[in-house]
Structure 1
Amino acid sequence: MNENNSDKLSLPQALDLIKDREKENFCLEKVNLAELQRLTGITRAKLRHLKESSFIEKQHGLKGRKSKTTVLSGFTGVIDNLLRSNVTNSEVLFEQLCKLGYAGGMTTVKNYILAHKDLIPAKRQIVSPQGNRGRRYSTEPGHCFQMDWGFVKVRDYSGLEYQAACFAMICHHCGERYIEFFPNAKQENLFIGMIHAFSYMGVPHFVLIDNMKSVVIRRGSDGSPIWNHDYEVLMKTIGFETRLCKAYHPFTKGKVERLVQFVKGNFLLGRCFINVTDLNMKALEWCAKQNDSWHKSIDMIPQTEHDKECSKILVTLKESPEILLYLCPPRRISFDGFVTYEGRRFGIPYSYSGKIVRVCRNAHILTIYSADMSHQLATHDVTWSHRDSFCKDQYVLPDQPEEFPTAAVKTVIEQSAPELPSNAFDRFDFSKEAFDD
């Protein structure tokens, strides 16, 4: 076992010490290698090699020479393009390279990013940063969740851009997170995202949120919030409370603000998806991966802490008809028998006489129910095409009453073949002439 080298001498110092001790009898060719090893900590084999050059350390002949090909050869163009697109997250770059067959490690990617920072576009800085003067606080397990919206622009295959909304919720104690994407940030999508998040993580005592229009209408004279009626009904139905943050003070719910930034800087960077369903499936996989990894800021694994401590306090969300109504938002039927959901039109059977239906999409299947959720009217395969999706019997009239005989029918009549009308050109049809032998 090697000894601690903190109290060892360098090779010139050890040689000077031996020289002072032996004086006239000192000779480099006869120096005691065992004593020299004890003084310097250098192995005997290396000392023998140095003895051949009179204990003068020489640099290796290949020092400073670099190989023409490295483990990153063939992948530098991909990294350069991502850096020029302001994608600087090493984990995102590493995942992209692994998909292309990269066999190296993440440290090599990080070193390449540090050496090519000139490719990264300069950040636009309006004012100089003043620093964070807020104080972090913590809550008990299962006591509080934080919730917020984030927005991202999506460029489709035709080059058109539209805006999508990311619903984010995080446990304030352990950092367990949940994200889901919607075409917009309307109130019905907020309710769907909250119910899905509560099913994923549990129901806390209260939710910390900013002053959204979907949540609070205004403040009373005493400063108390006047809740949106639909949101207040949701709180009573599920059984949680809501606390509002101070206006224009994002540090109050800094965990979810940081989560939104992390989603944009990690999950969404370089992301390509087919449709919202595909994006949400990848988002769930990403959440499971992040929840099961160790986080430095909280010094724990969120999933482990959530299952161990938070789950004792959180309430499991139970399915009920009232909650199902929030997952199936109402839609009005148009004059031509369609309902619009997530920017696309789906057909309703002609036999349904109501004016309101409820729509629910589960993965790639969209189901349409009656207004009271008692009947399932139609199902559609969501192809995400902008063409209208028709259903069976959408324009078929309902069956009319028809009478049938009560006794056996015995009267029989005959029907002859219809006579063909005479045609003036029949006389020119020579195929009908009779020829004599």
Structure 2
Amino acid sequence: MISTEVFMDIISLHRQGLSMRAIAKKLGIHRNTVKKHIEGNTLPQYRKKKRQKSILDPYRQVIDDYLAEDDYRATWILDRIRNMGYTGSYETLRDYVRKVKERHSRLAYARFETEPGRQAQVDWGDLQVENPDGSFSTKYMFLMILGYSRAMYIEFVNQCTLETFLDCHIRAFHYLQGVPAEILYDNMKQVVTGRKQGKAVFNTEFLHFARHYNFTPRACPPYSPWVKGKAERPMDYVRQRFWRGYVYTSLEKLNRDAALWLDKTANSRRHGTHGQRIYERWQQELAALTSLPPSDYDTSIKIYRKVYKDCQISYNGNRYLVPYKMVGKKVMLKIKHRRILIYDDNVLLASYEEARGKNELIGNRLFYEQLKRDRQLVKRKYGRRKGKATRGLTTSSLFPQVEYRPLAEYERYAQGGGSWNS
């Protein structure tokens, strides 16, 4: 089975107009494999293979961290992990240390230049800011830089969630006026969820995002931050030339000032490596970038909830009302910027501001009025009839299995027992 990176290469090359034969030759795989994934157009699914447990498992991360710092000997590491409770043999540790060092030794650094539109690199950074009231908080800096021109985009945010990470990408693509063929990342959790046989396992939602914008994600090998030097050196440049001495007042002003600095300083200077002005080289690169799709990717969080018998769904410790006809069905919630949109397939049922507390009940007055009106209509239509035709016919039998609550209870709710988003 091919890796996700090879799959993304197949899709990307196919969109560039290469034939299946040409793609197979370029990637060194069989033409039938190319055909299968182009026609199927779905991400490859992998079965998790159970790895045999080792007595070394609880200490692997500690060992990896030691070896990332320096070329420590196995005997030195053994002394440390013995104190942590390791009871295995020296030979088991020695063999593992040897494998890690061999993997490191195969990585060789070489400065390289990429052709126009070929590659960008992305990095996160964190900054401690002093707020106007004297308190301190952490802000995060997103940076994307084009490999050929060194044109960069930066943005400061309050959090580094996947949703925010993807939103930053979208704004970077618009600022840079296109999408590169591939983007290089380190092993940040928003991109890489783990490794299998030494290869990166990418976040599924992130892969869908990459396919939407037609770029291939690449992950740096572990313990080799220098591979992504085009992003990490500019990160230092931003810290020294823009952030150092900056007086923080608000996130909005910080991003406005950063955008102005990008245009007037960072992207207009003459770069020390290629010797040209970044803006001029960026204009040369624009033609090689992939055009943006007609619509941007929906980065909202998507989850499913079953509607309870009391016409409610729960999310994050709070309850939200939906139309009573949805009782027993599953609805989809899209959450973004503290806004909750509730859908039945593609039909929008309700829109709410996310509750900030816990154990709150948030409703829409329209749903209450609809339930009240329909129940009263049923009573008027069937309430006085007698005979076999209506025997056993009750108000509840004409509705989904809604948990019965007196209408007076909903009246109390409407008068202040809950919150209406009407």
> So what's the TM-score if we normalise by structure 2?
0.50
Q: 1:338 to 1:162 in 2, by over 3 A?
A: farther
User: Is 1:324 matched up with 2:300?
Assistant: no
SS at structure 1 position matched to 2:334: strand
Structure 2's unaligned 5+ residue stretches are 1-69, 71-107, 381-422
**Which stretch of structure 1 is more off in the superposition, 247-256 or 164-173?**
247-256
SS at structure 1 position matched to 2:137: strand
Deviation at 1:192, TM superposition (A): 1.6
User: Is 1:204 matched up with 2:204?
Assistant: no
Q: 1:290 to 1:227 in 2, by over 3 A?
A: same
SS at structure 2 position matched to 1:324: coil
> What pairs with 1:53-202 in structure 2 (closer than 5 Å)?
135-201=110-176, 202=178
Please say which structure displays the higher CA radius of gyration. Answer: 1
User: Is 1:219 matched up with 2:195?
Assistant: yes
Return the alpha-carbon distance in structure 2 between the equivalents of residues 253 and 244 of structure 1: 10
Q: 1:277 to 1:392 in 2, by over 3 A?
A: farther
Return the alpha-carbon distance in structure 2 between the equivalents of residues 396 and 156 of structure 1: 43
Deviation at 1:267, TM superposition (A): 2.5
* Code of the aligned partner of 1:303: Y
| 8 A Cα contact 1:350 1:398, kept in partner | no
Return the alpha-carbon distance in structure 2 between the equivalents of residues 167 and 355 of structure 1: 34
* Code of the aligned partner of 2:156: F
| 8 A Cα contact 1:348 1:394, kept in partner | no
Q: 1:233 to 1:248 in 2, by over 3 A?
A: same
SS at structure 2 position matched to 1:370: strand
User: Is 1:397 matched up with 2:368?
Assistant: yes
| Superposed CA offset, 1:275-295 (max 9, x none) | x34433333222222354222
Q: 1:292 to 1:218 in 2, by over 3 A?
A: closer
From 288, 300, 304, give the equivalent of 1:313: 288
* Code of the aligned partner of 2:279: Q
Q: 1:313 to 1:213 in 2, by over 3 A?
A: same
Return the alpha-carbon distance in structure 1 between the equivalents of residues 213 and 144 of structure 2: 16
Deviation at 1:367, TM superposition (A): 5.3
Return the alpha-carbon distance in structure 1 between the equivalents of residues 228 and 215 of structure 2: 18
Structure 1's unaligned 5+ residue stretches are 1-126, 128-132, 406-437
Return the alpha-carbon distance in structure 1 between the equivalents of residues 171 and 207 of structure 2: 18
| 8 A Cα contact 2:194 2:202, kept in partner | yes
| Superposed CA offset, 1:191-215 (max 9, x none) | 2222222222211111111122222
* Code of the aligned partner of 1:228: N
SS at structure 2 position matched to 1:375: strand
Q: 1:300 to 1:379 in 2, by over 3 A?
A: farther
SS at structure 1 position matched to 2:145: strand
How well do the aligned residues superpose, as a CA RMSD in angstroms?
4.2
Match of 1:301 in 2: 277
Which structure has more helix as a fraction of its residues?
Answer: 2
> So what's the TM-score if we normalise by structure 1?
0.49
Return the alpha-carbon distance in structure 1 between the equivalents of residues 152 and 315 of structure 2: 33
Return the alpha-carbon distance in structure 2 between the equivalents of residues 301 and 207 of structure 1: 23
Deviation at 1:190, TM superposition (A): 1.8
Return the alpha-carbon distance in structure 2 between the equivalents of residues 242 and 332 of structure 1: 28
Q: 1:279 to 1:357 in 2, by over 3 A?
A: farther
SS at structure 2 position matched to 1:136: coil
Return the alpha-carbon distance in structure 2 between the equivalents of residues 250 and 171 of structure 1: 17
Match of 1:262 in 2: 237
Deviation at 1:173, TM superposition (A): 0.9
| 8 A Cα contact 2:212 2:297, kept in partner | no
Match of 1:231 in 2: 206
* Code of the aligned partner of 2:348: H
* Code of the aligned partner of 1:263: V
Return the alpha-carbon distance in structure 2 between the equivalents of residues 261 and 213 of structure 1: 22
Q: 1:347 to 1:181 in 2, by over 3 A?
A: farther
**Corresponding residue pairs, total:** 258
SS at structure 1 position matched to 2:263: helix
Match of 1:375 in 2: 348
In percent, how many aligned pairs have the same letter? 24
Return the alpha-carbon distance in structure 2 between the equivalents of residues 158 and 172 of structure 1: 40
Return the alpha-carbon distance in structure 2 between the equivalents of residues 278 and 180 of structure 1: 11
Return the alpha-carbon distance in structure 1 between the equivalents of residues 304 and 133 of structure 2: 30
Return the alpha-carbon distance in structure 1 between the equivalents of residues 167 and 249 of structure 2: 22
Q: 1:214 to 1:302 in 2, by over 3 A?
A: same
